[in-house]
Amino acid sequence: MELSRRNILTGLAAATALEAQKKTWKPKFGILGNYSEENLTFAKAEGFNSMGLWARAQTSLDPATANDALLEKVKDSLARNGLYLSVVGSTVNHIDSDLAARARTNESFRKVIEIAGKLGAPYVGTGSGAMLGKSLDENVAEMVRVYTEQYFPTCQKYGVRILWEPYPGSPNVATGPIGFEALFKAFGNSPYVGLQYDPSHLVWQMMDPIQTARDFVDKIFDVHLKDTEVFTRVLRRCGINPLDKTKWWRYRIPGLGQMDWPAFFTVLQDAGYAGAMNIEHEDAVYGDPQRGDIFHEGYKVGFRMGYRYLRQYIPV
């Protein structure tokens, strides 16, 4: 009987330890920006351990000009600074109704996937794309066809997954639960698609970022840390589509908007999320949103403010 009881207690302890291990929350914590030696050095100096890089036209990682020599330089810089490259970003319209423009975009985005693969990044962040004037079903069907033909072979070659960000300001149907459901149903269990979750976009769309994260947490592979401040007094007067284009919301550094960060991080922690979470700095209070390849001093202050606030929730 004693042996049996001991076995039971041992088994319970092992199960508890296993469950604790599953729940261990060790996300990577970083920032988003264009590549430069200065930006990577800054990220390391400020205590970040992750980086997301943009691969956009007229930046240092422009897919039209980035070559293997540059990519080796970037890899070396990331390694020297001890930074994990979580994602390479490129927001384009993958299913443009203009077929010539679509062909150019598809070719360029394949290069972005290649860049990510050669740099060792597991993900490429983007929007889903959209054909304006078409139904949701028509859009999704075209995405499945185009992604399968144009992107998935390159994803397979380089071990890269395409992640959709819920940004409603560009051709994109992956802006919230309805779009997510339609896309994941159509793509099935494809290993080449997922979510780059940015809760700030759901806040200003008047959606629930916490419940949405809970519902789709198994599809979240990368996270943008950005807040949204809603000017309630203005909103109540002008509504969400003001005739005079009155600004009733703005992006902020995490902690300076309406986002419930403890609740959001609880969802991720409960799920054992171990991916990267990078501050996406679009807070104009700290200077114009960064468009050059080197962070200016005012812009750096925003990252520092975000770090101070978020460190109370994120173990580094």
pLDDT, tens digit (0-9, with 9 covering 90-100), for 186-215: 999 999 999 999 999 999 999 999 999 999
pLDDT, tens digit (0-9, with 9 covering 90-100), for 131-182: 999 999 999 999 999 999 999 999 999 999 999 999 999 999 999 999 999 9
Q: Is the pLDDT of residue 20 over 60?
A: no
| Alpha carbons within 13 A on the beta-carbon side of 184 | 18
113 Cβ contact partners less than 8 Å away, ≥ 6 residues apart: 124, 151, 154, 155, 158, 160, 162
Indicate the number of domains in the chain. 1
- From CA 285, how far away is CA 294, in angstroms rounded? 18
Q: Minimal CA–CA distance to 56: which of 108, 118, 121?
A: 108
How many angstroms separate the first and last alpha carbons of the chain?
Answer: 45
Asked whether residue 284 is assigned to any structural domain, the reply reads yes
- From CA 66, how far away is CA 269, in angstroms rounded? 37
Q: Angle formed by the axes of helices 68-80 and 99-119, to 10°?
A: 50
Asked whether residue 79 is assigned to any structural domain, the reply reads yes
Asked whether residue 230 is assigned to any structural domain, the reply reads no
Residue 237, pLDDT score: 92
Asked whether residue 2 is assigned to any structural domain, the reply reads no
CB distance 41 to 295 below 8 Å: no
Residue 223, pLDDT score: 98
Q: Is the pLDDT of residue 18 over 60?
A: no
Residue 315, pLDDT score: 84
List phi, psi (to 5°) of 119.
-85, -10
Q: Minimal CA–CA distance to 157: which of 110, 195, 194?
A: 110
Question: What CATH number did the domain enclosing 137 receive?
Answer: 3.20.20.150
Q: Minimal CA–CA distance to 181: which of 123, 126, 137, 134?
A: 137
Please give the average per-residue pLDDT across 221-245, as a whole number.
Answer: 94
pLDDT, tens digit (0-9, with 9 covering 90-100), for 23-51: 578 899 999 999 999 999 999 999 999 99
Which one is predicted more confidently, 17 or 68?
68
Q: What tokens appear for 187 in the block? A: 């793509």
The residue count for the chain: 316
Q: Is the pLDDT of residue 3 over 70?
A: no
CB distance 103 to 76 below 8 Å: no
Q: Is the pLDDT of residue 84 over 60?
A: yes
Residue 14, pLDDT score: 46
Residue 287, pLDDT score: 81
Asked whether residue 8 is assigned to any structural domain, the reply reads no
Asked whether residue 312 is assigned to any structural domain, the reply reads no
Asked whether residue 217 is assigned to any structural domain, the reply reads yes
Residue 212, pLDDT score: 98
Residue 288, pLDDT score: 74
Residue 7, pLDDT score: 55
Q: What tokens appear for 250 in the block? A: 């703005």
> Poorest-confidence range of 23-27, 96-100, 223-227, 249-253?
23-27
- From CA 242, how far away is CA 248, in angstroms rounded? 9
Using the structure block, give the residue that is written with the tokens 């919230």.
176
pLDDT, tens digit (0-9, with 9 covering 90-100), for 298-310: 999 999 999 999 9
- From CA 215, how far away is CA 210, in angstroms rounded? 9
Determine the structural domain holding residue 108 and report its residue range.
25-225+262-302
Q: Is the pLDDT of residue 1 over 60?
A: no
- From CA 176, how far away is CA 226, in angstroms rounded? 16
Residue 289, pLDDT score: 65
183 Cβ contact partners less than 8 Å away, ≥ 6 residues apart: 128, 140, 143, 164, 173, 174, 193
CB atoms within 10 A of CB 15: 10
pLDDT, tens digit (0-9, with 9 covering 90-100), for 252-296: 999 999 999 999 999 999 999 999 999 999 999 998 766 779 999
Asked whether residue 309 is assigned to any structural domain, the reply reads no
Q: What tokens appear for 172 in the block? A: 């994109």
